[in-house]
């Protein structure tokens, strides 16, 4: 008889499990984001992890790499074409329009925290299911808002313990001035078409601004000589960008004018930025970025509404926290172990566990062990100060035995007084 081979299931390629020992890092980021969001006046929003695929095609650009190469899309049994969200902004704007937030006092300030999905080659710090937090300020074209979201990004990063951060920033103009830059970029690349990668040859025809987003090594020297976006800004965009930089100077934010920074999504206008970790001898590591997207609300069916925001990669931030030796809170170790014997002892133990929890006393237990010796061995191993022994007799008498794990001295006390007695004894240890 042939043996049946049982498949060993693994997490899909490009995904991973966030194990219990990793959770303190995530909790530190969640707590920091939640606290600072309130300080800066943002409210949390959770949007579905899948949306109408057209939402992302219209917002990010049908010819963007995100839509053409990276999006997980699928057709439902009912015939709807959906996609797992590759980024957070489009869903937030859809929710803003759908739920009547256009009638709220503006700017509307929202933040999110959750998984995103992109089909790309998995590598260090880059996963097919990854996680981001992001902040969006909807309704407000003032340069001070651009500076504030950059300030917030840095504030969160520093609050979780990161150092050596800098901002790369650029302006890519608006619909009024960008066509002139587009023509100059196409003219520059046209004579070099045979020297660039196949993707850039396609971008030259479909979406020239994406040429500056190319990471292929052979394209870098050509990209370095491309026209600068700042030379083609209209007076309004030039003034806006100048004001943003003046605000950053006032905040003493370290920034670098990166003329090749365009971001990878079509909805960006004017200010674009990325936050980097800078280490001597190492290429800069991007933690996230964002910018202004003044045309997106209108593009998705709303009134013309300026907006600005950013998204940050949580996996990369955690990796960097570990590299820099950032300390995270450790769950307090229990100082009490509850030993229960017999069915009646177990029933009473469950109630006692709940009562001690209400008093703020952390208790460990091993309900599936029926032997007192094995339970006390566990109590020794985890290093508790006291064991509480509750058997059939104690349950009937309404008492519990307090055992000092160091001296081995035992004392019987009434159940009603055990919490107070433990607090007194723990205070002396």
For the chain, the domains span: 20-177+233-323, 336-423
Q: Which of 292, 46, 56, 303 is nearest to 171 (CA)?
A: 292
Query: What are the tokens at 113?
Result: 């925290």
Which range among 9-13, 77-81, 161-165, 424-428 shows the weakest confidence by mean pLDDT?
Answer: 424-428
For residue 298, the tally of other CB atoms under 10 A from its CB is 12
Q: Residue 283 — pLDDT band, cuts 50, 70, 90? A: confident
Q: What is the pLDDT of residue 278?
A: 86
Q: How far apart are CA 135 and CA 232, in angstroms?
A: 29
Q: Which of 97, 86, 96, 99 is nearest to 127 (CA)?
A: 86
Query: pLDDT tens across 337-357, in order?
Result: 999 888 888 888 888 999 999
Task: Name the average pLDDT for the chain.
Answer: 91
Query: What are the tokens at 243?
Result: 């004001």
Q: What is the pLDDT of residue 124?
A: 67
Which range among 106-115, 252-261, 349-358, 361-370 shows the weakest confidence by mean pLDDT?
Answer: 361-370
**Most confident of the ranges 162-171, 257-266, 273-282:** 162-171
Superfamily of chain region 336-423: Anticodon-binding domain (3.40.50.800)
Residue with tokens 């109590």: 379
Q: How far apart are CA 69 and CA 132, in angstroms?
A: 20
Sequence-distant (6+) residues with CB within 8 A of 15 are: 127, 128, 129
Q: Residue 73 — pLDDT band, cuts 50, 70, 90? A: very high
pLDDT over 60 at 409, yes or no: yes
Q: Per-residue pLDDT averaged across 324-334, rounded? A: 88
Q: How far apart are CA 383 and CA 372, in angstroms?
A: 17
Q: If one looks up domain 20-177+233-323 in CATH, what number appears?
A: 3.30.930.10
Q: Residue 372 — pLDDT band, cuts 50, 70, 90? A: confident
Q: Residue 143 — pLDDT band, cuts 50, 70, 90? A: very high
Q: What is the pLDDT of residue 191?
A: 87
Sequence-distant (6+) residues with CB within 8 A of 25 are: 318, 321, 322, 328
Q: Per-residue pLDDT averaged across 309-334, rounded? A: 92
pLDDT over 60 at 1, yes or no: no
Q: What is the pLDDT of residue 3?
A: 61
pLDDT over 60 at 387, yes or no: yes
Q: What is the pLDDT of residue 427?
A: 87
Q: Per-residue pLDDT averaged across 65-69, rounded? A: 75
Q: Which of 107, 110, 102, 129 is nearest to 118 (CA)?
A: 129
Q: What is the pLDDT of residue 429?
A: 67
Which helix H or strand E contains 167, and what residues bound it? strand 165-171
Same fold, 20-177+233-323 and 336-423: no
Q: How far apart are CA 360 and CA 419, in angstroms?
A: 10
**Most confident of the ranges 55-69, 244-258, 275-289:** 244-258
Query: pLDDT tens across 174-196, in order?
Result: 999 999 999 999 999 988 888 89
């Amino acid at each position: 008889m042939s043996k049946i081979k049982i498949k060993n299931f693994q997490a899909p390629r490009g995904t991973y499990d966030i194990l219990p020992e990793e959770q303190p890092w995530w909790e530190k980021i969640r707590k920091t984001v939640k606290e600072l969001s309130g300080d800066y006046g943002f409210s949390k929003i959770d949007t579905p992890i899948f949306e109408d695929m057209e939402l992302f095609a219209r917002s990010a650009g049908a010819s963007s790499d995100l839509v053409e190469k990276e999006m997980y899309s699928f057709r439902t049994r009912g015939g709807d074409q959906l996609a797992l969200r590759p980024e957070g902004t489009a869903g937030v704007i859809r929710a803003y329009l759908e739920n009547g937030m256009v009638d709220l006092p503006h700017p509307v300030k929202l933040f999110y925290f959750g998984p995103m999905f992109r089909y790309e080659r998995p590598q260090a710090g880059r996963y097919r299911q990854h996680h981001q937090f992001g902040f969006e300020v909807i309704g407000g074209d003032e340069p001070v808002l651009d500076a504030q979201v950059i300030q917030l990004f840095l504030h969160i990063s520093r609050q979780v313990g990161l150092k050596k951060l800098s901002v790369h920033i650029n302006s890519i103009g608006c619909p009024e001035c960008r066509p002139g830059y587009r023509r100059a970029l196409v003219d520059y690349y046209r004579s070099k078409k045979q020297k660039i990668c196949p993707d850039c040859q396609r971008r030259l025809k479909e979406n020239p601004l994406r040429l500056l987003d190319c990471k292929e090594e052979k394209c870098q020297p050509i990209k370095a000589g491309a026209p600068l976006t700042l030379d083609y800004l209209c007076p309004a965009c030039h003034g806006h960008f100048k004001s943003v930089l003046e605000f950053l100077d006032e905040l003493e934010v370290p920034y670098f004018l990166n003329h090749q920074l365009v971001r990878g999504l079509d909805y960006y206008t004017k200010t674009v930025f990325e936050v980097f970790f800078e280490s001597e001898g190492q290429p800069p590591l991007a933690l996230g970025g964002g910018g202004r997207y003044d045309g997106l609300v209108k593009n998705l069916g709303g009134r013309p509404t300026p907006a600005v925001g950013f998204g940050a990669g949580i996996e990369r931030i955690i990796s960097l926290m570990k590299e820099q030796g950032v300390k995270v809170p450790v769950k307090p170790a229990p100082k009490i172990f509850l030993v229960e014997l017999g069915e009646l002892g177990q029933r009473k133990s469950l109630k006692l566990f709940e009562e001690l929890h209400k008093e703020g006393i952390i208790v460990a237990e091993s309900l599936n062990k029926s032997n007192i010796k094995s339970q006390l061995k566990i109590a020794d191993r985890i290093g508790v100060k006291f064991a509480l022994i509750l058997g059939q007799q104690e349950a009937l008498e309404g008492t519990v035995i307090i055992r000092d794990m160091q001296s081995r001295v035992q004392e019987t006390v009434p159940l009603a007084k055990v919490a107070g007695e433990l607090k007194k004894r723990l205070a002396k240890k």
